[in-house]
Protein backbone atom coordinates (compact mmCIF):
# COMPACT_ATOMS: atom_id res chain seq x y z
CA UNK A 1 0.00 0.00 0.00
CA UNK A 2 1.96 2.93 -1.35
CA UNK A 3 2.32 5.84 1.01
CA UNK A 4 0.63 3.90 3.80
CA UNK A 5 3.69 2.25 5.36
CA UNK A 6 4.89 -1.31 4.99
CA UNK A 7 4.43 -3.48 1.89
CA UNK A 8 1.94 -6.33 2.09
CA UNK A 9 2.81 -9.67 0.52
CA UNK A 10 0.39 -12.51 -0.19
CA UNK A 11 1.97 -15.88 0.63
CA UNK A 12 -0.94 -18.33 0.86
CA UNK A 13 -4.23 -19.03 -0.86
CA UNK A 14 -7.02 -21.48 -0.14
CA UNK A 15 -10.39 -21.94 -1.85
CA UNK A 16 -13.61 -23.87 -1.31
CA UNK A 17 -16.16 -23.29 -4.08
CA UNK A 18 -18.92 -25.13 -5.95
CA UNK A 19 -16.78 -25.14 -9.10
CA UNK A 20 -13.75 -26.62 -7.33
CA UNK A 21 -12.35 -27.59 -3.94
CA UNK A 22 -8.82 -26.28 -3.63
CA UNK A 23 -7.20 -23.51 -5.61
CA UNK A 24 -6.19 -25.57 -8.65
CA UNK A 25 -9.62 -27.18 -9.03
CA UNK A 26 -11.12 -23.72 -8.58
CA UNK A 27 -9.04 -22.35 -11.46
CA UNK A 28 -10.12 -25.19 -13.74
CA UNK A 29 -13.70 -24.49 -12.72
CA UNK A 30 -13.34 -20.85 -13.69
CA UNK A 31 -12.31 -21.95 -17.18
CA UNK A 32 -15.15 -24.45 -17.51
CA UNK A 33 -18.82 -24.19 -18.36
CA UNK A 34 -20.98 -21.77 -16.43
CA UNK A 35 -24.10 -22.24 -14.35
CA UNK A 36 -26.79 -22.73 -16.96
CA UNK A 37 -30.34 -23.42 -15.82
CA UNK A 38 -29.26 -24.64 -12.38
CA UNK A 39 -32.06 -22.95 -10.46
CA UNK A 40 -31.94 -20.40 -7.67
CA UNK A 41 -28.68 -21.55 -6.08
CA UNK A 42 -25.59 -23.67 -6.52
CA UNK A 43 -24.03 -25.51 -3.59
CA UNK A 44 -20.87 -27.49 -2.90
CA UNK A 45 -21.71 -31.10 -3.68
CA UNK A 46 -20.61 -34.00 -1.47
CA UNK A 47 -18.90 -31.79 1.09
CA UNK A 48 -16.71 -33.82 3.46
CA UNK A 49 -15.67 -32.14 6.71
CA UNK A 50 -13.71 -35.20 7.92
CA UNK A 51 -10.21 -33.89 7.08
CA UNK A 52 -10.78 -30.73 9.10
CA UNK A 53 -12.31 -31.95 12.37
CA UNK A 54 -11.27 -34.45 15.03
CA UNK A 55 -14.68 -36.11 15.06
CA UNK A 56 -18.08 -35.98 13.34
CA UNK A 57 -19.47 -34.52 16.56
CA UNK A 58 -17.10 -31.54 16.36
CA UNK A 59 -18.10 -30.95 12.75
CA UNK A 60 -21.82 -31.04 13.61
CA UNK A 61 -21.19 -28.19 16.03
CA UNK A 62 -19.97 -25.94 13.21
CA UNK A 63 -22.17 -24.34 10.56
CA UNK A 64 -20.95 -24.93 7.02
CA UNK A 65 -19.93 -21.28 6.79
CA UNK A 66 -17.37 -22.06 9.50
CA UNK A 67 -16.38 -25.40 7.97
CA UNK A 68 -15.65 -23.77 4.61
CA UNK A 69 -13.48 -21.12 6.29
CA UNK A 70 -11.56 -23.77 8.25
CA UNK A 71 -10.88 -25.73 5.04
CA UNK A 72 -9.79 -22.71 2.99
CA UNK A 73 -7.57 -21.45 5.81
CA UNK A 74 -5.90 -24.86 6.10
CA UNK A 75 -4.95 -24.81 2.41
CA UNK A 76 -3.76 -21.20 2.56
CA UNK A 77 -1.60 -21.73 5.64
CA UNK A 78 -0.19 -24.96 4.24
CA UNK A 79 0.95 -23.12 1.11
CA UNK A 80 2.30 -20.18 3.09
CA UNK A 81 4.37 -22.34 5.41
CA UNK A 82 5.19 -21.65 9.02
CA UNK A 83 4.76 -17.97 9.81
CA UNK A 84 7.68 -16.37 11.62
CA UNK A 85 5.66 -13.58 13.22
CA UNK A 86 4.77 -13.54 16.91
CA UNK A 87 1.30 -15.15 17.21
CA UNK A 88 0.19 -12.05 19.12
CA UNK A 89 0.78 -10.09 15.92
CA UNK A 90 -0.98 -12.48 13.53
CA UNK A 91 -4.55 -11.37 12.93
CA UNK A 92 -7.67 -13.11 11.67
CA UNK A 93 -10.00 -10.87 9.66
CA UNK A 94 -13.02 -12.38 7.90
CA UNK A 95 -15.99 -11.13 5.96
CA UNK A 96 -19.45 -12.64 5.73
CA UNK A 97 -22.90 -11.47 4.76
CA UNK A 98 -25.11 -13.40 7.16
CA UNK A 99 -23.08 -15.98 9.10
CA UNK A 100 -24.72 -19.21 10.21
CA UNK A 101 -28.18 -18.60 8.79
CA UNK A 102 -28.68 -22.27 7.91
CA UNK A 103 -28.28 -23.28 11.53
CA UNK A 104 -30.61 -20.50 12.65
CA UNK A 105 -33.35 -21.50 10.20
CA UNK A 106 -33.06 -25.18 11.12
CA UNK A 107 -33.29 -24.46 14.84
CA UNK A 108 -36.30 -22.19 14.40
CA UNK A 109 -38.03 -25.16 12.78
CA UNK A 110 -36.98 -27.36 15.71
CA UNK A 111 -38.47 -24.90 18.21
CA UNK A 112 -41.74 -24.62 16.32
CA UNK A 113 -42.08 -28.38 15.83
CA UNK A 114 -40.67 -29.75 19.09
CA UNK A 115 -40.53 -26.91 21.61
CA UNK A 116 -37.89 -24.75 23.24
CA UNK A 117 -36.13 -27.52 25.14
CA UNK A 118 -35.10 -29.19 21.89
CA UNK A 119 -33.26 -26.11 20.56
CA UNK A 120 -29.52 -26.79 20.38
CA UNK A 121 -27.34 -25.07 22.99
CA UNK A 122 -24.83 -24.68 20.16
CA UNK A 123 -27.17 -22.50 18.10
CA UNK A 124 -25.66 -19.20 19.21
CA UNK A 125 -21.97 -20.06 18.63
CA UNK A 126 -22.90 -21.70 15.33
CA UNK A 127 -24.98 -18.81 13.97
CA UNK A 128 -22.65 -15.98 15.04
CA UNK A 129 -21.26 -14.09 12.06
CA UNK A 130 -17.87 -14.03 13.81
CA UNK A 131 -17.75 -17.82 14.34
CA UNK A 132 -15.66 -18.63 11.23
CA UNK A 133 -12.90 -16.16 12.07
CA UNK A 134 -12.97 -17.15 15.71
CA UNK A 135 -12.63 -20.82 14.77
CA UNK A 136 -9.68 -20.16 12.44
CA UNK A 137 -7.99 -18.11 15.15
CA UNK A 138 -8.41 -20.84 17.76
CA UNK A 139 -7.45 -23.64 15.38
CA UNK A 140 -4.11 -22.02 14.53
CA UNK A 141 -3.33 -20.08 17.70
CA UNK A 142 -3.55 -16.66 16.04
CA UNK A 143 -3.75 -14.14 18.86
CA UNK A 144 -3.68 -10.83 17.00
CA UNK A 145 -6.71 -8.75 15.97
CA UNK A 146 -9.66 -11.07 15.35
CA UNK A 147 -12.55 -9.21 13.75
CA UNK A 148 -15.41 -9.91 11.35
CA UNK A 149 -16.72 -7.47 8.78
CA UNK A 150 -20.38 -7.77 7.79
CA UNK A 151 -21.04 -5.42 4.87
CA UNK A 152 -23.18 -7.71 2.71
CA UNK A 153 -21.60 -8.50 -0.65
CA UNK A 154 -18.66 -6.13 -0.11
CA UNK A 155 -17.54 -7.93 3.07
CA UNK A 156 -14.83 -10.13 1.56
CA UNK A 157 -13.13 -7.20 -0.17
CA UNK A 158 -13.46 -5.02 2.92
CA UNK A 159 -11.92 -7.75 5.08
CA UNK A 160 -8.89 -8.15 2.82
CA UNK A 161 -8.37 -4.40 2.54
CA UNK A 162 -8.61 -3.92 6.30
CA UNK A 163 -6.29 -6.86 6.92
CA UNK A 164 -3.70 -5.37 4.56
CA UNK A 165 -3.94 -2.01 6.33
CA UNK A 166 -3.29 -3.61 9.71
CA UNK A 167 0.03 -4.81 8.29
CA UNK A 168 0.80 -1.61 6.37
CA UNK A 169 0.20 0.48 9.49
CA UNK A 170 2.32 -1.78 11.72
CA UNK A 171 -0.57 -3.08 13.81
CA UNK A 172 0.02 -6.68 12.72
CA UNK A 173 2.80 -8.59 10.98
CA UNK A 174 0.60 -11.19 9.30
CA UNK A 175 -3.14 -11.69 8.85
CA UNK A 176 -5.21 -14.67 7.75
CA UNK A 177 -8.10 -13.07 5.91
CA UNK A 178 -10.93 -13.83 3.52
CA UNK A 179 -14.65 -14.42 3.33
CA UNK A 180 -17.08 -17.27 3.78
CA UNK A 181 -20.77 -17.86 3.14
CA UNK A 182 -23.42 -20.59 3.24
CA UNK A 183 -26.65 -18.65 2.92
CA UNK A 184 -29.00 -20.38 0.48
CA UNK A 185 -31.75 -21.34 2.91
CA UNK A 186 -35.36 -21.76 1.71
CA UNK A 187 -36.35 -18.51 3.42
CA UNK A 188 -33.42 -16.44 2.15
CA UNK A 189 -33.96 -17.71 -1.39
CA UNK A 190 -37.65 -16.91 -1.13
CA UNK A 191 -36.82 -13.35 -0.10
CA UNK A 192 -34.23 -12.81 -2.83
CA UNK A 193 -36.67 -14.30 -5.33
CA UNK A 194 -39.52 -12.08 -4.21
CA UNK A 195 -37.37 -8.99 -4.63
CA UNK A 196 -36.59 -10.25 -8.20
CA UNK A 197 -32.85 -10.38 -7.53
CA UNK A 198 -32.53 -14.03 -8.62
CA UNK A 199 -32.41 -15.18 -12.22
CA UNK A 200 -35.81 -16.42 -13.37
CA UNK A 201 -34.15 -19.01 -15.62
CA UNK A 202 -31.45 -20.12 -13.18
CA UNK A 203 -28.57 -18.74 -15.25
CA UNK A 204 -26.12 -16.04 -14.23
CA UNK A 205 -25.19 -13.94 -17.30
CA UNK A 206 -23.14 -10.94 -16.16
CA UNK A 207 -23.45 -7.88 -18.39
CA UNK A 208 -25.44 -9.85 -21.00
CA UNK A 209 -28.33 -8.27 -22.87
CA UNK A 210 -30.64 -10.93 -21.38
CA UNK A 211 -29.32 -10.88 -17.81
CA UNK A 212 -32.12 -11.14 -15.27
CA UNK A 213 -30.54 -11.73 -11.86
CA UNK A 214 -28.02 -13.83 -10.01
CA UNK A 215 -27.73 -17.44 -8.90
CA UNK A 216 -26.87 -17.79 -5.20
CA UNK A 217 -23.45 -19.30 -4.55
CA UNK A 218 -21.45 -20.29 -1.48
CA UNK A 219 -17.94 -21.13 -0.37
CA UNK A 220 -14.86 -19.50 1.10
CA UNK A 221 -11.49 -18.14 0.09
CA UNK A 222 -8.62 -17.27 2.43
CA UNK A 223 -5.40 -15.35 1.80
CA UNK A 224 -2.36 -15.20 4.06
CA UNK A 225 -1.02 -11.65 4.12
CA UNK A 226 2.42 -10.80 5.53
CA UNK A 227 4.70 -7.85 5.93
CA UNK A 228 6.89 -8.04 2.83
CA UNK A 229 10.31 -8.21 4.49
CA UNK A 230 9.19 -10.88 6.96
CA UNK A 231 7.97 -13.01 4.06
CA UNK A 232 11.23 -12.53 2.17
CA UNK A 233 13.38 -13.26 5.23
CA UNK A 234 11.77 -16.64 5.84
CA UNK A 235 11.97 -17.63 2.16
CA UNK A 236 8.24 -17.64 1.52
CA UNK A 237 6.93 -17.81 -2.03
CA UNK A 238 5.18 -14.51 -2.69
CA UNK A 239 2.05 -14.89 -4.81
CA UNK A 240 1.23 -11.23 -5.10
CA UNK A 241 0.98 -7.92 -3.30
CA UNK A 242 -1.86 -5.78 -1.98
CA UNK A 243 -1.24 -2.32 -3.41
CA UNK A 244 -4.28 -0.49 -2.07
CA UNK A 245 -8.00 -0.40 -1.52
CA UNK A 246 -11.01 1.85 -1.30
CA UNK A 247 -14.24 1.85 0.70
CA UNK A 248 -17.19 4.21 0.69
CA UNK A 249 -21.00 4.38 0.68
CA UNK A 250 -23.59 5.22 -1.95
CA UNK A 251 -25.91 6.74 0.69
CA UNK A 252 -28.67 6.16 -1.84
CA UNK A 253 -30.84 3.05 -1.38
CA UNK A 254 -30.86 -0.12 0.74
CA UNK A 255 -30.59 -2.45 -2.29
CA UNK A 256 -30.21 -0.44 -5.52
CA UNK A 257 -26.85 1.04 -6.59
CA UNK A 258 -26.56 4.78 -7.05
CA UNK A 259 -27.52 5.81 -10.62
CA UNK A 260 -24.54 5.92 -12.93
CA UNK A 261 -22.41 4.13 -10.36
CA UNK A 262 -21.42 7.37 -8.61
CA UNK A 263 -20.37 5.58 -5.41
CA UNK A 264 -18.43 2.95 -7.37
CA UNK A 265 -16.60 5.67 -9.31
CA UNK A 266 -15.41 7.30 -6.11
CA UNK A 267 -14.50 3.93 -4.58
CA UNK A 268 -12.29 2.88 -7.49
CA UNK A 269 -10.57 6.26 -7.46
CA UNK A 270 -9.95 5.93 -3.73
CA UNK A 271 -8.30 2.57 -4.36
CA UNK A 272 -6.14 4.01 -7.13
CA UNK A 273 -5.05 6.89 -4.89
CA UNK A 274 -4.27 4.50 -2.04
CA UNK A 275 -2.12 2.39 -4.37
CA UNK A 276 -0.38 5.41 -5.91
CA UNK A 277 -1.59 4.37 -9.38
CA UNK A 278 -3.33 5.96 -12.33
CA UNK A 279 -6.18 4.38 -14.32
CA UNK A 280 -3.71 3.50 -17.06
CA UNK A 281 -1.76 1.29 -14.67
CA UNK A 282 -4.65 -1.17 -14.23
CA UNK A 283 -4.39 -4.20 -16.54
CA UNK A 284 -7.50 -6.16 -15.50
CA UNK A 285 -10.74 -5.54 -13.60
CA UNK A 286 -12.54 -8.34 -11.78
CA UNK A 287 -16.03 -6.90 -11.71
CA UNK A 288 -18.72 -7.37 -9.11
CA UNK A 289 -20.89 -8.28 -12.11
CA UNK A 290 -23.82 -9.95 -10.37
CA UNK A 291 -25.97 -10.33 -13.50
CA UNK A 292 -28.72 -8.06 -12.18
CA UNK A 293 -29.81 -5.34 -14.63
CA UNK A 294 -29.20 -2.40 -12.28
CA UNK A 295 -25.86 -3.52 -10.82
CA UNK A 296 -24.22 -4.36 -14.12
CA UNK A 297 -25.35 -1.16 -15.80
CA UNK A 298 -24.11 0.96 -12.89
CA UNK A 299 -20.78 -0.85 -12.70
CA UNK A 300 -20.23 -0.60 -16.45
CA UNK A 301 -20.93 3.13 -16.32
CA UNK A 302 -18.55 3.52 -13.38
CA UNK A 303 -15.72 1.56 -15.00
CA UNK A 304 -16.17 3.52 -18.23
CA UNK A 305 -16.06 6.82 -16.35
CA UNK A 306 -12.85 5.96 -14.51
CA UNK A 307 -10.94 4.00 -17.17
CA UNK A 308 -12.59 4.87 -20.49
CA UNK A 309 -14.79 2.76 -22.75
CA UNK A 310 -13.23 -0.65 -23.40
CA UNK A 311 -9.86 0.43 -22.02
CA UNK A 312 -9.26 -2.47 -19.60
CA UNK A 313 -10.16 -6.17 -19.85
CA UNK A 314 -13.04 -6.96 -17.47
CA UNK A 315 -14.30 -10.30 -16.17
CA UNK A 316 -17.06 -11.42 -13.85
CA UNK A 317 -16.62 -14.93 -12.45
CA UNK A 318 -20.17 -15.17 -11.08
CA UNK A 319 -21.40 -17.06 -14.11
CA UNK A 320 -19.40 -19.99 -12.71
CA UNK A 321 -19.34 -19.42 -8.94
CA UNK A 322 -22.76 -17.91 -8.43
CA UNK A 323 -22.98 -14.94 -6.12
CA UNK A 324 -21.49 -15.95 -2.78
CA UNK A 325 -22.50 -12.71 -1.02
CA UNK A 326 -19.93 -11.94 1.71
CA UNK A 327 -17.47 -14.49 0.32
CA UNK A 328 -17.59 -13.05 -3.21
CA UNK A 329 -14.75 -10.57 -2.77
CA UNK A 330 -12.42 -13.20 -1.35
CA UNK A 331 -13.27 -15.72 -4.09
CA UNK A 332 -12.64 -13.05 -6.70
CA UNK A 333 -9.33 -12.02 -5.13
CA UNK A 334 -8.38 -15.70 -5.37
CA UNK A 335 -9.33 -15.66 -9.06
CA UNK A 336 -7.06 -12.64 -9.58
CA UNK A 337 -4.08 -14.37 -7.95
CA UNK A 338 -4.63 -17.48 -10.06
CA UNK A 339 -4.93 -15.26 -13.13
CA UNK A 340 -1.44 -13.96 -12.32
CA UNK A 341 -0.10 -17.49 -11.94
CA UNK A 342 -1.64 -18.89 -15.12
CA UNK A 343 -1.20 -15.72 -17.17
CA UNK A 344 -4.79 -15.86 -18.37
CA UNK A 345 -7.99 -13.96 -17.67
CA UNK A 346 -10.88 -16.43 -17.36
CA UNK A 347 -13.96 -15.84 -19.51
CA UNK A 348 -17.24 -14.46 -18.24
CA UNK A 349 -19.37 -17.59 -18.40
CA UNK A 350 -22.79 -17.59 -20.11
CA UNK A 351 -22.43 -14.06 -21.47
CA UNK A 352 -22.86 -13.98 -25.25
CA UNK A 353 -24.15 -10.52 -26.26
CA UNK A 354 -23.41 -7.41 -24.23
CA UNK A 355 -26.35 -5.28 -23.20
CA UNK A 356 -26.86 -1.97 -24.95
CA UNK A 357 -26.10 -0.30 -21.61
CA UNK A 358 -22.67 -1.98 -21.31
CA UNK A 359 -19.51 -0.31 -22.66
CA UNK A 360 -16.67 -2.42 -21.26
CA UNK A 361 -14.15 -4.84 -22.77
CA UNK A 362 -15.65 -7.99 -21.26
CA UNK A 363 -13.64 -11.20 -21.63
CA UNK A 364 -16.10 -13.73 -23.10
CA UNK A 365 -16.04 -17.14 -24.72
CA UNK A 366 -12.42 -18.17 -24.12
CA UNK A 367 -9.69 -17.29 -21.62
CA UNK A 368 -7.57 -14.34 -22.71
CA UNK A 369 -3.79 -14.52 -22.47
CA UNK A 370 -2.28 -11.49 -20.79
CA UNK A 371 0.85 -10.07 -19.21
CA UNK A 372 -0.10 -9.91 -15.51
CA UNK A 373 -0.19 -6.48 -13.97
CA UNK A 374 -2.07 -4.50 -11.30
CA UNK A 375 -5.65 -5.69 -11.11
CA UNK A 376 -8.65 -4.04 -9.48
CA UNK A 377 -11.44 -6.13 -7.95
CA UNK A 378 -14.82 -4.58 -7.15
CA UNK A 379 -17.59 -5.62 -4.77
CA UNK A 380 -20.75 -3.72 -3.88
CA UNK A 381 -23.24 -4.68 -1.19
CA UNK A 382 -26.81 -4.03 -0.13
CA UNK A 383 -26.83 -0.98 2.10
CA UNK A 384 -24.73 0.94 -0.41
CA UNK A 385 -21.39 -0.53 0.68
CA UNK A 386 -18.64 -0.27 -1.95
CA UNK A 387 -15.24 -1.95 -1.87
CA UNK A 388 -12.34 -2.04 -4.33
CA UNK A 389 -8.97 -3.69 -3.83
CA UNK A 390 -5.89 -3.63 -6.06
CA UNK A 391 -3.61 -6.64 -6.25
CA UNK A 392 -0.39 -6.97 -8.24
CA UNK A 393 1.92 -9.82 -9.20
CA UNK A 394 4.86 -10.44 -6.89
CA UNK A 395 7.62 -7.91 -7.37
Give catalytic residues, as residue numbers.
Answer: 153, 288, 323
Closest CA to 326 of 67, 151, 192: 151
The beta strand positions in 65-218, using DSSP E, are: 90-95, 146-149, 174-181
Rg (CA), the chain: 20
DSSP 391: E
User: Residue 102, Cα to own-chain centre: how many angstroms?
Assistant: 20
User: Residue 63, Cα to own-chain centre: how many angstroms?
Assistant: 19
Closest CA to 318 of 200, 207, 196: 207
Q: What count of residues does the chain have? A: 395
3-class SS of residue 79? helix
**Separation between Cα atoms, residue 336 and residue 338, nearest integer Å:** 5
**Separation between Cα atoms, residue 272 and residue 4, nearest integer Å:** 13
Amino acid sequence: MQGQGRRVAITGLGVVAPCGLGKEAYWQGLLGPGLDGVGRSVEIADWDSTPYYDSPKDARRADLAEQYAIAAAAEALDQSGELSADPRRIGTIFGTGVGGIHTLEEQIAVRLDKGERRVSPFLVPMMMANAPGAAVSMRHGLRGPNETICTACAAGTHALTYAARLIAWGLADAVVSGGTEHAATPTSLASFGNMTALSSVGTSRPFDAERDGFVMGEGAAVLVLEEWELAVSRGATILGEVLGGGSNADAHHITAPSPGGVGAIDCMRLALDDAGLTPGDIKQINAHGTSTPLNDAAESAAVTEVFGAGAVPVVSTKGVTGHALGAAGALEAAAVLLSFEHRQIPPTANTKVLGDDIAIDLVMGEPRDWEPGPTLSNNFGFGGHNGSIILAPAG
